[in-house]
Structure 1
């Protein structure tokens, strides 16, 4: 019997940069969406503005079809990317601490589900924000630890680079600290 030659997929390269996620030259951008999928503030609003009206139209189609009640917390769904350089936007809804959503597993699910969807799309490069940091009340260091661990734990066939694109030096520093910890 011949030895097997299949090997487990390697983890993706995980990196963090400060920047504008809407300008990333990647296959897929992850949107820190609200459950309505209709845009909003922060990263969500910036992505919707940069993508143009076609993104909202695709989100409305999801609401009219498979997601009439909106996207549940911790889940992810993909659309096209409109006028963005990316081919796809993967929308995920992070838990809101102010609303009592304090389970770290829900936050981790945002990252793992987004990467699962990226695999389904065949994306090689994925840019993600610090989901649930900021107005949703999660501490940036906790978000960074959970996000980096989820990315390092990902094993798929297509995703090669996971880039956290962060707003501001404090967020970048939190992710750099998380990346400095050996897994």
Structure 2
């Protein structure tokens, strides 16, 4: 890995720190050659503190270390992307990130869809949406719908029509998200269970 530490007069390059699992950006620090070498040697992320004018290992006082997973440099060789497994909150304020955000998994559009389902589940009797009507009918009806969609997905899997297979797969996943919420769970709970099995 070739890093151009001479691009800036102070010999520092930005180091973007990202959670290796959630992919959330946790903080931004700066490294010189010595900080990078120490990070690679100890496997704990070490920065060069511009205010203290010395090397600084994140967590050296709090115990909230950033355990190194991987380091990549950008196309100009003057910025680092550092993947870590954080121990505790990253920010000195006690927040998970330096942007005061929770460091939790996000599943893109599926997370948005979960929020829509939650809104329609809690909207009350005025909501006439399909989702609200399913919740009104109760857990047995929701579970039945998941079963029906699962059977339809299996049938389409045995055919050669990819469009129909994807359509039924989407129906199955949508109704499964509804079932999860009816049982008081979300995709994060499924992720946690799969991670537990992976170990």
TM-score range, shorter chain: under 0.3
Larger Rg: 2
Relative contact order, CA 8 A, sep 6+: which one is greater? 1
* Structure 1 length-normalised TM: 0.21
